[in-house]
Amino acid sequence: MSALLSAALDTSVEVEREILFRVVNRVAIITLNRPAALNALSHAMVRELAMLVEHCRTDDGIVALVLKGAGAKGFCAGGDVREVHRLAKNGDSRWLAFFVDEYRLDYALHTFPKPVVALLDGISMGGGMGLGQAARLRIVTERSKIAMPETRIGFLPDVGATRFLSVMPAEVELYVGLTGVTLSGADAVRLRLADLCVPAEWLGTFEERLQCMSHAGDLMDALRAVFEPPCNVVPHAALGPFTQLILRHFDRRSSIERIVATLRYDLEREPPREVRQWLQAAYDAMVGHSPTMLYVTREALLRGRQMSLAECFRMELGIVKRVVEEGDFCEGVRAQLIDKDRKSRWAPATIAEVRPERVRYFLASPWRKETHPLRALGV
């Protein structure tokens, strides 16, 4: 057993760790423990998680796995893109290993032979969704904030999003993936990105119920009983009233230019206040995010609907390599997360300037099939 894994399993270690591990009634509980950073994933955390997941897979004394975040604000806000930005700007190619290891971890969770439960309480975005969407039982609360906001930083919804977002109708998937809209817990249940919406207060005592869980009968039924309150009232899904607008404006047959044009047209017709607010938010996202990555994301999401999970991960990694090295990623992170001037200088600057050959370039794999870093993932 490695020293890193030994330390993770040793509850006597006093140094505050970024990953906590314990077993309650044969159920492993892994806690992301960077609450000050909303439990964002560093490369070291990804590697440690991978070792713990493998330990849980091979230990016959462990029958299920629960993933949670420390603190009340979030499950996981995503990967440490600032560190990726720093390495990329310095010409240090080690940033790629972060994504390779992260995707392998996510795939291992998706294919985990034992039940996985993810507590998506608070902020669950980007890399957090990569972990959470791999779970067989995904729990959200009234304070959950679910999103894949990558186009805002010149990136694309990754960590398997080109596959897991496909549970929604294509138009809704495009809306969520292109605009990066934040979904409530109730929205997530309605859109099949979560299985249960429960009061956050109820999750605070789940370990007490887990301690009493019976191992007789169906394990998934027993786990669900631990996390679902006896009387559960799911909050109203805020996105519901806008379904027809989403279907109209984010038609899978529409180009990015067409989507923007129809949003602008409806805004100019002076619609009712709530409709106008929705239209304005969608329009602002579409004209403010990376033009190139809007096109690339649209195509990747539609392709992913016809691909296996492993194929989606391989496609995403190829796009990631292109966009970090040659695309808008570094500028987007600079503008949104480092300088925070919110004035991204995209290249090209407008949707109309994006050339089809540029989009095809980002979607073309930089590796041959036999040399792809993720060639060992499934089929």
Q: Do 207 and 273 have their domain in common?
A: no
Number of neighbours of residue 281 by Cβ within 10 angstroms: 13
Bridge partners of residue 139, in order along the sequence: 119, 196
Q: Do 251 and 219 have their domain in common?
A: no
Q: Indicate the residue among 237, 272, 290 that finishes a domain.
A: 237
Q: Do 262 and 320 have their domain in common?
A: yes
Q: Let me know if residue 331 belongs to a domain.
A: yes
Q: Let me know if residue 199 belongs to a domain.
A: yes
d(CA 293, CA 268): 26
Q: Is the pTM of this model over 0.85?
A: yes
* 159 exposure class (CB count in 10 Å sphere: 0-12, 13-18, 19+): buried
Q: Do 136 and 263 have their domain in common?
A: no
Q: Indicate the residue among 171, 202, 237 that finishes a domain.
A: 237
- CATH number of the domain encompassing residue 140: 3.90.226.10
- Residue 309's Cβ-side half-sphere holds a number of Cα atoms within 13 Å equal to 18
Q: Let me know if residue 66 belongs to a domain.
A: yes
- What stretches of 239-319 adopt beta strand conformation (E)? none
Q: Do 205 and 78 have their domain in common?
A: yes
Burial 177-210 (b: 16+ CB within 10 A, else e): bbbbbebbbbbbbbbebbbbbbebebbeebeeeb
Q: What is the pLDDT along the chain (379 residues), one digit of tens a residue?
A: 454 555 555 544 445 799 999 999 999 999 999 999 999 999 999 999 999 999 999 999 999 999 999 999 999 999 999 999 999 999 999 999 999 999 999 999 999 999 999 999 999 999 999 999 999 999 999 999 999 999 999 999 999 999 999 999 999 999 999 999 999 999 999 999 999 999 999 999 999 999 999 999 999 999 999 999 988 777 888 888 899 999 999 999 999 999 999 999 999 998 999 999 999 999 999 999 999 999 999 999 999 999 999 999 999 999 999 999 999 999 999 999 999 999 999 999 999 999 999 999 999 999 999 999 999 998 7
Domain enclosing residue 35, as ranges = 1-147+192-237
Q: 3-state SS of the chain: helix, strand, coil percent to 5?
A: 50, 10, 35
Q: Indicate the residue among 237, 263, 292 that finishes a domain.
A: 237
Tokens of 18: 């970024």
Q: Do 269 and 213 have their domain in common?
A: no
Q: Do 219 and 279 have their domain in common?
A: no
Structural element, H or E, at residue 180: none
Q: Do 5 and 68 have their domain in common?
A: yes
Q: What are the CA-CA distances from residue 31 to residues 48, 59, 83 (Å)?
A: 12, 18, 22
Count of domains forming the chain: 2
Q: Do 228 and 347 have their domain in common?
A: no
Q: Which of 47, 42, 48, 44 is nearest to 21 (CA)?
A: 48
Q: Provide φ and ψ at 348, rounded to 5°.
A: -75, 170
Burial 253-262 (b: 16+ CB within 10 A, else e): ebebbebbeb
